[in-house]
Amino acid sequence: MATAINILMIDDDEEDFIIVKDLFAQIPNYLFHVTWAASYNEGVNLITEKQHDLYLIDYRLGPDDGLELIREVIRGGCDVPLILLTGQTDIETDRQAMKAGASDYLVKGSISPSQLERAIRYNIERARNIREIKDLNSGLEKKVRDRTLELTNALEREQSISEMKSRFVSFASHEFRTPLAAILSSASLIRKYEEPEDAEKRQKHVDRIASSVKNLTEILDDFLSLAKLEKGVVEIERAEFNLQDFLENIVEEMDGMVGKKNQQINYRHEGATMIEQPKKLLKNILLNLLSNASKYSPEEQQIELTSVITGNKVYITVKDYGIGIPAEDHAKLFNEFFRAGNVQNIQGTGLGLNLVRRYIELLDGTICFTSNPGEGTTFAIEFPQIATR
């Protein structure tokens, strides 16, 4: 059975409605459901309900105007065919109908069933084609917007990488100079200490070279990590592991660094122990925070590391009793290349905490800190017990 075509006729003369309805009954192979609105306002209200496939609108609606009705419903967003019914057949009526937005017009008294069928079929098909074209255009516009956004983001990333390269050249020319000068100086002096009794002096310069190489390696590692983050190529491999064992191993790994300053990391854990997160990212985060705690603390100071798992969340804090961070530097602490005003004489790139923040974001976590100059700093990180991405 054919699908019914819903037609609304808006006409203040019921006899005209009956005549037109009889014409619909004479059209073969179609099922029409024709309803009637007797006034301007009733017609507008029914059109607003969007229950019809086509509207037949009389030119005269008592004291109202069918052309104005057409203009009003089009302003309201109507995209269904609107056919004007008129008792006049002239170019001026045609022009007014088209200008108002009518899809077509038919002359009362001279409409045949075949003319009516053609007008209905043609205008419904035309409206369907227009809607499809609009949908296609909307789809294309969305694709263009999405692609433009992709290209814009890619360009911004390229610009960011380019700026980072420029900053690296400027930074490297300054920061590489000190460790390279130390290496060259120590290498030159080592050659002078050839006697057995000079062993201690030779070792001193070997240690100095090793420390300088370590500083250079840290600088390069920071820049390589930043470059990967900028390009979005950081590998995230989730694994299930025991957080307490994991952090105890990191503390053991840090012993060599903190031991040189007679410092000690005190670690304690509360709650469950198993988590599922990228181990490599988490290790980078903790090594950076613990290294900073040691670097910016005096000798023989304690560093406190705590971890708690509760409510499907992991909470880790790193607390030191070092030099602290000036209040005026708090807001910029996680910016690229930023270094607090009281650490300018201590080796560093100004990238470590920026990397930490971005790594934690990859864990869907957060980081915050509290600090007072001369009293120390506490960093606190929070992230899901089980990775969400």
Interior angle at CA 26, CA 21 and CA 27, nearest 5: 100
- Structure tokens belonging to residue 259: 């031991």
8 A C-beta contact, residue 69 and residue 10: yes
DSSP secondary structure, 276-292, as one string: EEEHHHHHHHHHHHHHH
Predicted local confidence at residue 1, as pLDDT:
45
b/e burial code for range 99-133 (CB count within 10 A of at least 16 → b)? ebbbbbbbebeeeeeeebbebbeebbeebeeeeee
8 A C-beta contact, residue 57 and residue 100: no
d(CA 288, CA 277): 18
| Per-domain boundaries in the chain | 5-133, 176-231, 238-384
Q: Model confidence over 128-172: pLDDT tens digits? A: 888 888 888 888 888 888 888 888 877 777 776 666 666 655 555
Q: Model confidence over 292-335: pLDDT tens digits? A: 899 899 998 999 999 999 999 999 999 999 999 999 999 998 88
Percent of the chain whose pLDDT exceeds 70: 86
pTM of the model: 0.49
- In CATH terms, the superfamily for domain 238-384 is Histidine kinase-like ATPase, C-terminal domain (3.30.565.10)
- Give the CATH number of domain 5-133; options: 2.130.10.30, 2.130.10.10, 3.40.50.2300, 3.10.129.10: 3.40.50.2300
The H helix count followed by the E strand count for the chain is: 10, 14
pLDDT band at 70 (very low <50, low <70, confident <90, very high): very high
Predicted local confidence at residue 255, as pLDDT:
82
Nearest to 354 by CA among 232, 248, 240, 223: 223
8 A C-beta contact, residue 295 and residue 325: no
Nearest to 55 by CA among 79, 90, 75: 79
Q: Mean per-residue pLDDT for 338-346?
A: 78
| Beta bridge pairs of residue 270 | 308
d(CA 117, CA 109): 16
> How many other CB atoms are there within 10 angstroms of residue 144's CB atom?
10
